[in-house]
Amino acid sequence: MFVINGRFLTLPQGGVRRYALEWARLLGQKMAELQIVAPPDAPLEPGLPVTRVGNLRGHAWEQMELPLYLKRRHRPLLLNLANTAPLMYDHNILVVHDLAWKDSRLAFHPRLRRGYRFLIPRLVRRAKAVWTVSRFAESEILKEFPFLKGKTECLPPVLDYVKSWKSQQPQTSGLSHRPFFLTVGLTSPRKDPAVLFRAFSMRPERFLVVAGYAARVLKDLAPLPDNVLLMNALDDEELAWLYAHSQACISASRYEGFDLPPLEAALLGRPVILSDIPVHREIWKDRACYFPMGEAPALAEILDSPDGARFPVPQCDFTEKFSAERLYPLFQALIARFLKE
């Protein structure tokens, strides 16, 4: 058996936490003896077998108390689903989502970036294996760390959770009879909010809803166009309503390891409009409408199709490959050899 590093439960809402949470949920359902070890401030999620240990928080807990706990319990295999792991515990598998921390233009507070620059190269050297979320991310990791050749694998996210969402209209939205486009999670510069806002300022008759944002990312872009509505503190049911009622979901990202929101939209039957970056092409192929990265006029031109005729709607068989039914056997195959050691 193995243990999951539960520090991901203390992370803010976002793609990394969602990936880790849904894999932990699936493994908790499938494996009766699974244990998720988390810091004392970790919120308890329904259905997760969480054991809270120690007194510290954050990286201090992960680097000091977690490895001590594991060593006292005969050094079980540790699965780290959210980019970091204990440096002094090498019996582990590490999931690295992307290498955005390498580029100061993409995201990250300088202190956090310095921390990742110190930690991740050392962690990947010590890990039994390094997994990631897409073939693009895997290629980036191997380019940066060529010594990992033969030690990397791709384990995509599980998306079954979207099918369980119930739809509830946000109370303050005023969107019942207004057509709108949707973008989700403008939480870092790599999401390229400037391109989105420029495109919509060129098309004042179109309307954009931003579901989830970081004020620090948008502060230099004020004043925002009048046809942009910012919404924060949304729960899954409200997000589901926005997806289901949007004309299309837009991602203008400059860099992603995977990019969850467009797939969430697709599972709810909505088309997507994507920046033309490698990971989008890998996942979506010809099932999306693309515009050149960073080019607001090209995105504005796409918005000129009010009936959505230019937006292909992804087929069911495409989204099914991110189901638990498809992915759990892959996980079993990937982890089997490490459980025999």
Could you write out the three-class secondary structure of 1-37? CEEEEHHHHHCCCCHHHHHHHHHHHHHHHHCCCCEEE
Where along the chain do its domains lie? 2-158+323-339, 161-321
Common-topology check for domains 2-158+323-339 and 161-321: yes
Contact 4, 51 (CB under 8 A): no
Which of 239, 276, 236, 283 lies closest to 257 in space, CA to CA?
283
Q: Report the C-alpha gap between 303 and 297 in whole angstroms.
A: 10
Q: Which residues contact 64 (CB under 8 A, 6 or more apart)?
A: 56
Q: Which pLDDT score is estimated for 310?
A: 63
Q: Which pLDDT score is estimated for 319?
A: 81
Q: Which pLDDT score is estimated for 316?
A: 64
> Domain 161-321, what fold?
Rossmann fold (3.40.50)
Q: Which pLDDT score is estimated for 107?
A: 59
- What digits encode the pLDDT tens for the residues 179-204? 999 999 999 889 999 999 999 999 99
Task: Output phi, psi for 125, to 5 deg.
Answer: -65, -35
Q: Report the C-alpha gap between 127 and 141 in whole angstroms.
A: 14
For domain 2-158+323-339, the CATH class is alpha beta
Q: Which residues pair with 291 in a beta bridge?
A: 275
Q: Which residues of the chain have pLDDT under 50?
A: 308
Q: Which pLDDT score is estimated for 106?
A: 65
Contact 331, 133 (CB under 8 A): no
Quickly count: other Cβ atoms within 10 Å of residue 305's Cβ. Answer: 14
Structure tokens at 187: 């939480």
Q: Which pLDDT score is estimated for 64?
A: 98
Q: Report the C-alpha gap between 44 and 67 in whole angstroms.
A: 21
